[in-house]
Structure 1
Amino acid sequence: MERNLKVALVGNPNTGKSTIFNALTGLNQKVGNFPGITVDKKTGISKLPNGKTVDVIDLPGTYSLYPKSADESIVFEVLSDKTNSSFPDLVVIVADATNLKRNLLLYTQIADLKIPVIIALNMMDQAEKSNIEINVDAFSKKLNVPVVPLSARKGQGINKLKEAISHSTLLALQLPTINVADIAPALIAEIQQELNVENQYAALQIAHQHEHLKYLSQEKSDRVEELEQKHGFHSQKAQAKETIERYNFINEILADTVKYKSVALEENISNKIDHVLTHKIWGFVIFFAIMMFVFNAIFSWAEYPMELIENLFAWIGEVGHEKLPEGLFTSLLLDGIVAGLGGIVVFIPQIAILFAFIAILEDTGYMSRVTFMMDRLMRKVGLNGKSVVPMIGGLACAVPSIMAARNIESWKDRMITIMVTPLISCSARLPVYTLLISLVVPDEKVFGFLSMQALVLMALYLIGFIAAFLIAWVMKVIIKAKDRGYFVMEMPVYRMPRWNNVLLTMYDKSKTFVLQAGKVIIAISIILWVMATFAPGDRFEKIDEKYATELANADDEAKEHIEVLISTEKLENSYIGLLGHAIEPVIRPLGYDWKIGIGLITSFAAREAFVGTMATIYSVDGGEEDTSTIRERMAASINPNTGMPVYTLATGVSLMLFYAFAMQCMSTVAIVQRETKSWKWPLIQIGYMTLMAYVCGLIAYQLLK
């Protein structure tokens, strides 16, 4: 079977590379990791006009082949190692037509690796608006490579790019950009000979990066170090010389092919908007207003589809118990798996809405402004401005956000960022928050238009950020280090969001949430069902004997009441009931009963498992005749000791604060251990976050009860 050609997309950040990747591959995408390193690897399949298909690899964005982070180091790692499973047959270099001088530095480096290339000249519509005139044909001839003009956001030029890929000769025809051998001739020659490296520029880059290249053995890396010392190689001086020569080449090319007529109108408009949106006071007011709108939408827009999903799963349970024969398998399927999944699937509308707004804010360029504004606060608590990116990313998930902290050069800043990022409320907490808010916070309007439930949700997110800043300030004092970091970022101009990209993000994130959470929920639901269905010894038999006489002499209405009592008593005497009652004395001061205790335990697998756990427990407890939704069952549950509802305002607020602070995610613990290469830091993290969660939950319950 003929293998598909591999095409790598390479480019600077903010050049539209991800948009082109989405346009080429559509829904035929998957995300994994590059071999041996926890850096996202986005791959997809693209169908070409000639009927053939190619594998497309979206490499991390980078300004040059000299890396400043683990993500950026992957680019040279892939492009210089022919044995790498991601090594491409063809490289599509995505360049921003409005900023060619900066973008072409990366092109000249990749061109000198002698890999076949195509230049995708993106944002041509923006270049035209900015009065930048590019002679594409002359530009292509000067470089001797195919150049495809694009406006990826509008979908223009994608088919021409596919045609260029299908007609590519897969031969490196590009002209040399600089004389690489002049930089360190003797060293390059020896590295080529001893390491059997064909390309001169690859040999030079190995001299610069040999300590971090995973495909080089320790022995070969040590040999390169010896050769560097032998020839007096100075990496920074060599890099500076190379960069100057490359920009001389770029200036010559642009002088003959590009004309700049005037300052971009769009850029001027963006600058004027920034005077308001990044204002030291009004900027934050506007940001909070936008967030309030988002949280309001999460409740109001999702209400109807959530109700439909709840009713659907209630109907499935009702029909299932009617049509399927009674027995353990039916109970496992309906009261365990279906009930557990229903508790998660119902939150898809809210997850989709959240990620739709995040995609819109990123696409318009506003999220970059939020990062810029938050940098001011970060520095006051001793964090690097680059900490903003992981912390904002923590709104989606802490795992990739903690990995993103690799971009922070300062060890101290990186460690503090890793330690506080899990305090930011992630999407896994959203189902827990919304479930609890719907139980204990009235659905009333404030000022006639703001939802009280949305205000509470926003407060929970703000509490996470405030706690992160306070802990960061404490750790700034505790953790000692001399190195200091810096923060430089590019502000893109404001643009309309790409609605196809927004829809794709909604679909992708919702699918990922369901699949990842679904695996955990199914596993936990089965375990919970088994623990709730069986008991040690003859406990269930004794309960049946206890009510046998009453049940035999009771009328239909009394029978129904007795069966509920039997179901409840059996649940309390099951394995899961005994476990719950064992931990109840520890959590009772927070207002939690043993059922909530079981939810707290299962949440250590994943926070959202709390919802699935409650769904399973209350489904088993409700019996086969109970067709109400999980939220209705939870709202109706009564504390037998007090005669009051289990989910009062005091208990609900306490539980929400507990989940806001507790480190209940095994994946996060694992990634912190992997990133810090020590169990010391994740154990400290679990300790301080659990203590914060318990103390805050305790205070809230005792004050509000």
Structure 2
Amino acid sequence: MAADLKIALVGNPNTGKSTLFNLLTGLNQKIGNFPGITVDKKTGFCKIGDHKTAEVVDLPGTYSLYPKSKDESIVFQILADRENRSHPDLIVLVADATNLRRNLLLYTQVADLQIPVILALNMTDMAKKEGLAIDIDQLSKNLGVQVVAISARNNIGLKELKDAIANAPTIPTQEPGTDIQVLAPEAIAAAGQLIQTTNPYFALQVLHQHSELDIYTPEQHQQLNQIAAEHNFESSKIQTAETVARYRYLGTILNGIITDTGAQKKFIMSDRIDKVLTHKVWGFAIFLLILLFVFNAIFSWSAYPMDMIEEGFARLTDLGHEHLPEGMLTDLLLDGVVAGLGGIVIFIPQIAILFALISIMEDTGYMARVTFMMDRIMRKFGLSGKSVVPMIGSLACAVPSIMSARNIENWKDRIITIMVAPLVSCSARLPVYTLLISLIIPDEKVLGFISLQALTLMGMYLISIIAAVLVAFVMKFLIKAKEKSYFIMEMPVYQKPRWNNVLLTMYEKSKTFVFEAGKVIIAISIVLWVMASYGPSDRFEKIDQKYEKIELQQDSVAISTLERDRSAEKLENSYVGILGQTIEPAIRPLGFDWKIGIALITSFAAREAFVGTMATIYSVDSADEEATTIRNKLKGATDANTGLPLFTFATGFSLMLFYAFAMQCMSTVAIVYRETKSWKWPMIQLVYMTALAYFASLIAYQLLR
């Protein structure tokens, strides 16, 4: 889509920048990477005025143009390079009206780059509730820029902002924030002449950050280093001096702009709630209760829709076998594709509930408090407080969580976070847990209202988090680094959840789960069905000859039983059966048979594939015509050696521990390689997690059997 205007949204973290982006672009957006950089880029399009279309880029949140992380460095790189595909014609700087002085520091830096700017003053409704009155017109006059009061959360001021964008000048009209020349006049002049710019602040920023910019030649980089050395250019001291000068300037700009009406003490309600929710004892107790509520909801609320989906797929399979012609294609469709896909679709209600509740916690501001509380623990185990965000994010998926570790400045903290994040149980493990829990844990209530199955699920998540923290503690001593780490986070004010956002999150995450996992599951199911339905021809011929002789001497009831025996024996002698029995000796001590072994192999592509694999294998096996659902089939599964039920408490718990600790995800291996630029770390991660999973399962099974 061709755009008439390129707009970049710039602002501090937690200013509502992404909310404004969603409001402007709606569903007309996409997520990718900045060219040549593994940092997420959100772009979208919106209508401006009567006939204009604007391309909007949501740049990473940053407190300053001086970056503290890889994500933050992108902001200046995009703004500095006029040849960059994302370089904007106009900047909309989103500022938090409740903390205007701090937010305007970034504005003054951006304005000095001499790119047209509009200041979007967000959360003005919240500022009013806190008793803050802001003179928008006078602020606009003092800064020499259009200032628009908005509330992105409540869709207030969007029309006024679009009008301002439509009427924005094509050349910068705002006045410079400070006299940059006095900071390092000789170095700035020499750098400006070298890179051919008349903008002193741009020259200053290039002196600070040219090593991060690929728009200059190696010779230019070397010359810039020489300029810095010749003129004693001390970057950290000059940054400090610049910040002090800008805050002095903002003092004059904001004089008389903000009036405290005394209507309400700022953050008084949030402060009172925080005294309870972030208490060093009660805060953790409340967090555990909230987790228990989440897991109880996952089981209780999803039971009815899951039963409907399960019965629907079972009925679909029965109808297919009744009305479709017998043959290979019908068996492939029903016992391969439908069975495998049914094993995934059934878990949509649980996935939707999980992400809805996580979205509510994020939207209300509670998840930020969890991060704050966990920082106290994390530091004792060798992790930064910033490690909490990727680890909590791993409850959803390890891949974006590992990518979010870029915000951790300390190399050691970042590597340890990347290495332990996959241990935290993600949503892909949820189908495995819930299926196995439904098999080995009775559906009973504790204290009359707490589900025993929910307590077990919560226990699996807690085990994974404890394991991640303990492994981090060990790596603290194994990985050496001299850097000091720190954690600074701004607490957002408590707010009501945006239900539209919650519903959209449920829809998007469920869709992603089905389509991303579904593609893998269907492919695996087809391959599995073929491998489970065919084997070395001489083996299948011998089995057919054996049962044909026996059938001649049996009645119809016995023949029906023999058909099931023939099916089971063929499955054991199929290609997938041969593969499973090859690895069975290694996994027998864990309580697993060869069928579970096949599921372990296929689920390396995606953990969710375990359920689809078991559904396909047991559909091909067809040991019980009445066991039409995957749970019924697994409940009826028996150990070939003992004849007893296969999925006992010992086997089920051993299998859950294996999935809790094993890597079992190709996407995670790939993203760790991409983030570390080395195969060393993903290989170490794969080996230690596999070993941890194996020995944890071995100990559990041997103790519980």
TM-score normalised by L of structure 1: 0.95
1:361 aligns with 2:377: no
Q: How does 1:156-167 map to 2 (within 5 A)?
A: 156-167=156-167
1:352 aligned partner: 352
Question: What is the CA-CA distance between 1:52 and the residue it aligns to?
Answer: 4.2
- 1:658 is aligned to 658
How far has the Cα of 1:51 moved from its partner? 5.4
On the 8 A contact 1:295/1:454 being kept in 2, the answer is: yes
Residue 512 of structure 1 corresponds to: 512
The residue aligned with 2:466 is 466
* Number of the residue aligned with 1:102: 102
- 1:119-268 residue pairs with structure 2 within 5 A? 119-197=119-197, 199-262=199-262, 264-265=264-265, 267-268=267-268
Q: Distance in 1 between matches of 2:472 and 2:261?
A: 48
What is the SS of the residue equivalent to 2:254?
Answer: helix
CA distance in 1 between partners of 2:546 and 2:573 (Å): 14
Query: 1:266–1:493: 8 Å Cα contact kept in structure 2?
Result: no
1:331 is aligned to 331
Supply the distance in 2 between the matched residues of 1:153 and 1:557 (Cα, whole angstroms).
68
The farther-off stretch of 372-381 and 181-190 is 181-190
Contact 1:464 1:660 in 2 (8 A): yes
Task: Please list the CA deviations of residues 89-126 of structure 1 after superposition, one character each: whole Å capped at 9, or x if unmatched.
Answer: 22211110010101011111111122222211111111
Deviates more, 1:118-127 or 1:469-478: 469-478
Whole-Å Cα distance in 1 between the matches of residues 192 and 24 of structure 2? 37
Distance change >3 Å, CA 31–CA 553, structure 1 → 2: farther
2-side partners of 1:144 and 1:627: how far apart?
74
- For residues 46 and 546 of structure 1, the distance between their equivalents in structure 2, rounded to whole angstroms, comes to 71
Q: Is this contact kept in 2: 1:317–1:627, CA < 8 A?
A: no
| 1:320-345 C-alpha deviation (Å, 9 max, x unpaired) | 33343333333333322222222112
What are the residue-to-residue correspondences of 1:646-685 with 2, within 5 Å?
Answer: 646-685=646-685
CA offset at residue 87 of structure 1? 1.6
* 1:441 shift after superposition: 0.9
- Which residue of 2 is the match for residue 117 of structure 1? 117
Tell me, in whole angstroms, the C-alpha distance in 2 between the residues paired with 1:160 and 1:627: 62
Q: What residue number does 1:534 align with?
A: 534
Structure 1 range deviating more: 548-557 or 669-678: 548-557
Aligned partners of 2:695, 2:393: CA distance in 1, in Å? 27
Query: Aligned equivalents of 1:191 and 1:531: distance in 2?
Result: 67
Amino acid at match of 2:310: E
Give 2:328's aligned amino acid: L
Per the alignment, do residues 630 and 197 of structure 1 end up closer, same or farther by CA in structure 2, a change over 3 Å counting? farther
After TM superposition, give the deviation of residue 623 of structure 1 in Å. 8.1
Q: In 1, distance between residues paired with 2:460 and 2:187? A: 58
In 1, the alpha carbon distance for the partners of 2:596 and 2:197 equals 62
Q: Mean Cα displacement is larger for which, 62-71 or 692-701? A: 692-701
**Correspondence for 1:586:** 586
Deviation at 1:551, TM superposition (A): 4.3
Q: In 2, Cα distance between the equivalents of 1:349 and 1:225?
A: 58
Q: SS of the counterpart of 1:518?
A: helix
Corresponding residue SS for 1:53: strand
How far is the alpha carbon of 1:4 from its aligned partner? Answer: 4.7
The one-letter amino acid of 2:286's match is: I
Q: Which of 441-450 and 531-540 deviates more?
A: 531-540
Q: Deviations over 1:14-67 (max 9, x none)?
A: 111121122222223322222222211122232445254332221111101110
Mapped to 2, the partners of 1:542 and 1:672 lie a distance apart of 48
1:209 is displaced (CA, Å) by: 0.8
Distance 1:379-1:640 versus aligned 2 partners, 3 A rule: same
Whole-Å Cα distance in 1 between the matches of residues 492 and 243 of structure 2? 25
Q: How does 1:544-623 map to 2 (within 5 A)?
A: 544-551=544-551, 556-622=556-622
How many residues are paired up? Answer: 705
Tell me which amino acid in the other structure corresponds to 1:331: D
Residues 399-438 of structure 1: matches in 2 within 5 Å? 399-438=399-438
Going from structure 1 to structure 2, the CA distance change for 1:350 and 1:53 (only over 3 Å counts) comes to farther
Aligned mates of 2:43, 2:320 — CA distance in 1: 40
Q: How far apart in 1 are the matches of 2:641 and 2:324? A: 37
Q: SS in structure 1 opposite 2:427?
A: coil
Cα deviation digits, residues 125-153 of structure 1 (max 9, x gap): 11101111111122222223222211222
> Is this contact kept in 1: 2:9–2:91, CA < 8 A?
yes
What do residues 382-406 of structure 1 show as CA deviations (whole Å, max 9, x unaligned)? 2222221221111111122222223
Q: What whole-Å deviation, never above 9, does each CA across 1:552-586 have from its counterpart, x for those lacking one? A: 66555444333222222221111111000000111
Q: Equivalent residue for 1:81? A: 81
Say if 1:605 and 1:664, in contact at 8 Å, map to a contact too. Answer: yes
C-alpha contact (below 8 Å) 2:624/2:633 kept by paired residues: no
DSSP-derived class of the 2:482 partner: coil
Residue 295 of structure 1 aligns with an amino acid whose one-letter code is F
Alignment-derived partner of residue 372 in structure 1: 372
Structure 1: how far apart are the matches of 2:246 and 2:658? 55
- Structure 1 pair 588–244 and aligned structure 2 pair: CA distance change class (3 A): same
Separation in 2, partners of 1:626, 1:411:
57
Q: What runs of 5+ residues in structure 1 fail to find an aligned partner?
A: none
Q: Distance in 2 between matches of 1:580 and 1:415?
A: 36
- Relative distance call for 1:21 and 1:566 in structure 2 (3 A) is same
- TM-aligned CA distance change 1:560 to 1:43, over 3 Å: farther
SS at match of 1:98: helix
Deviation at 1:664, TM superposition (A): 1.3
For residue 616 of structure 1, give the secondary structure of its aligned residue in structure 2.
helix
The separation in 2 between residues aligned to 1:83 and 1:324, in whole angstroms, is 60
Residue 162 of structure 1 deviates from its aligned partner by 2.7
Relative to 1, partners in 2 of residues 1:645 and 1:220: Cα closer, same or farther, differing over 3 Å?
A: farther
Distance in 2 between residues matched to 1:543 and 1:102, nearest whole Å: 78
Q: 1: distance between equivalents of 2:511 and 2:570?
A: 37
- 1:22–1:501 Cα contact (<8 Å) kept: no
Q: Distance in 2 between matches of 1:218 and 1:318?
A: 69
Amino acid of the structure 2 residue aligned with 1:330:
T
* Cα distance in structure 2, aligned partners of 1:450 and 1:191: 68
Aligned to 1:60, what secondary structure does the other structure show?
coil
Distance in structure 1 (CA, Å) of the matches to 2:217 and 2:334: 55
Quickly say closer, same or farther: Cα 1:162–1:683, change in 2 above 3 A. Answer: same
Give the aligned residue type for 1:662.
A
The answer to whether the Cα contact below 8 Å between 2:391 and 2:421 also exists between their aligned partners in 1 is yes
Say if 1:209 and 1:645 are closer, same or farther in 2 by CA, change over 3 A. same
SS of equivalent to 1:99:
helix
CA distance in structure 1 between the partners assigned to 2:698 and 2:674 by the alignment: 33
Distance in 2 between residues matched to 1:298 and 1:18, nearest whole Å: 29
Instruction: Measure, in 1, the Cα distance between the counterparts of 2:280 and 2:499.
Output: 31
Code of the aligned partner of 1:349? P
The DSSP-based 3-state class of the residue aligned with 1:259 is strand
Aligned to 1:282: 282
Q: Is the 8 A contact 2:77 2:212 kept in 1?
A: no
SS of the residue aligned with 2:32?
strand
Q: Report the CA distance shift for 1:343/1:51 in structure 2 as closer, same or farther (over 3 A).
A: farther
Gaps of 5+ in 2: none
Displacement of 1:520 after TM fit? 1.9
Between 593-602 and 491-500, report the one with greater CA deviation.
491-500
